[in-house]
A and B are shown apart, each in its own frame.
Chain A
């Protein structure tokens, strides 16, 4: 009987992050998403002969800021290189990138492992480069169409060491990296929209073996779920090949998440020989002490520091702090709303409860939350003053979540204000009592539940616009 071998997965990531600059990396074209095709282009980003690229300073500053936040050494003398290849998405026939002297090197990110321990995933390097255009495959004709709006959009590529061993570690690393970059404001890092893209380099080896196996690179992973599935699928595929005595080919594969399988992307005829050489159009970059100090001084408060401050300043539970600081946008909303209404626990409750619920239900990323702190503070004030009850508040919040409406105005327009007219309430209660003799009887015989039913009927008669506590109290008075 053959021995069952145990395999270890070895994973390294190449993460591309689209930087949140207003303009492209080498020209003054807008990076705005969703413009009509080719309307954000110029001779530079469409590779016209004789044009001169000039580096966007903000790109360099963001790249350095990410490097500092991940403990990298910043390269003091750097330059750009040309990566040569022919493809219609690349009008220059080369991509401007950094091979020889990337801006950052030798960093790392600490993650929590499954066993509750900690480990550092090394960062080999971070380099700056330009994005390519977008190819659209024409459905009617045998041709493709090219939109160069994305050509020249600034990217940083963060190359990890092969330090991860399973999908959980990969996700932990990506989440940490994403949060850090969001806190820096260097990118919104949305996987679905492609502002953060992760390519997975994976190989397997027998447990105990020192040498790495042959690795493959997996592309087209646009959610954490797809990444997890691709890692598990590729691990199995490689183990099957090894067990069958076949060789693993070093290749780039494309993950098809709908089918749950991957395909080899490039064939052997497509030689991958990029013939890198220094780009003579771009001046070398010298990072001075002064420049570095300036960027360092601008580094924001990161999650760990923020958590400590929340504990100190707001006195909300650790559980709340953990969730609120898990997305930059959420933390910003929290702080800005508390600054207006000074009620940290109430703000936290709205974020942890209804906000999280609706985010899950509507599949919305925290970075896309768009209700304003002003409106959330107003909603809290409306409930505090008992102008609306809890259920109505939730109803209003849901509309606010979608459209950021002004809650006071909305409540007035829709007549949602709690009826404080004791006469109207008493009249409604009298009618409910008259209409439900059995429940009244039950309550008088000691059935507490019957009271709940009567409260419910009254709330219904009041169209939800009464204060349940008040209804409760008046009902009890009537029935005693």
Chain B
């Protein structure tokens, strides 16, 4: 494995992903991530000079919708997914 992921990196990625990993999980994640980066390096061997990065898999462009209201109130339906609700809103841990 050419890419070695440091403890700092895995901790940082953990913070970004809001994941708390155990020591074992961290070690496993370091290995997995190293392998992923090796694979990316492999792709990097290809000559992509002058080729625009692809952002969409289909050759489509300008997919628009008109500015007219088509949705109605489906609050009850989607609030049904909430672990907890109050006054028609989702309840989440206190934020500031």
Chain A contacts to B: CB under 8 angstroms: 21-23, 27-30, 36-43, 46, 48, 54-60, 79, 84, 86-88, 135-138, 141-148, 269, 271, 273, 275, 278-280, 282-286
Contact = CB atoms under 8 A, between A and B. Distances in A.
A145 B65 contact: no
Contacts of B88: 36-39, 147
B73 to A, nearest CB: 4
Contact of B62 (A29, A145, A271, A286): A286
A146 B68 contact: no
B56 A284 contact: yes
B16 A273 contact: yes
Contacts of B4: none
A275 B79 contact: no
Contacts of A59: 67
Given A22-B67, A283-B61, 11 more contacts: A21-B67, A40-B71, A40-B73, A143-B91, A143-B94, A145-B86, A271-B15, A271-B16, A283-B58, A284-B56, A285-B61
A57 B62 CA distance: 9
Contact of A144 (B15, B64, B71, B93): B93
B92 A54 contact: no
Contact of B94 (A39, A142, A148): A142
Given A22-B69, A144-B94, A269-B15, A55 B63 contact: yes
A273 B12 CA distance: 10
B55 A278 contact: yes
Contact of A38 (B60, B70, B71, B79): B79
A41 B94 contact: no
Contacts of A282: 56, 63
Interface residues of B, number: 37
Nearest to A88: B92
A29 B86 contact: no
Interface string B43-66: 000000000010111101111111
Interface of B: 12, 15-16, 18, 53, 55-58, 60-71, 73-75, 78-79, 86-96
B12 A38 contact: no
A56 B66 CA distance: 6
B78 A88 contact: no
A220 to B, nearest CB: 13
5 contacts: A38-B88, A41-B74, A138-B94, A145-B86, A146-B92
B55 A145 contact: no
Among A42, A43, A48, A141, find the residue whose CB has the most chain B CB atoms closer than 10 A.
Answer: A42
Contacts of B96: 137
A29 B65 CA distance: 12
Contact of B87 (A37, A137, A142): A37
A273 to B, nearest CB: 6
Contacts of B61: 283-286
Contact of A280 (B18, B55, B74, B89): B55
Contact of A138 (B68, B71, B78, B86): B86
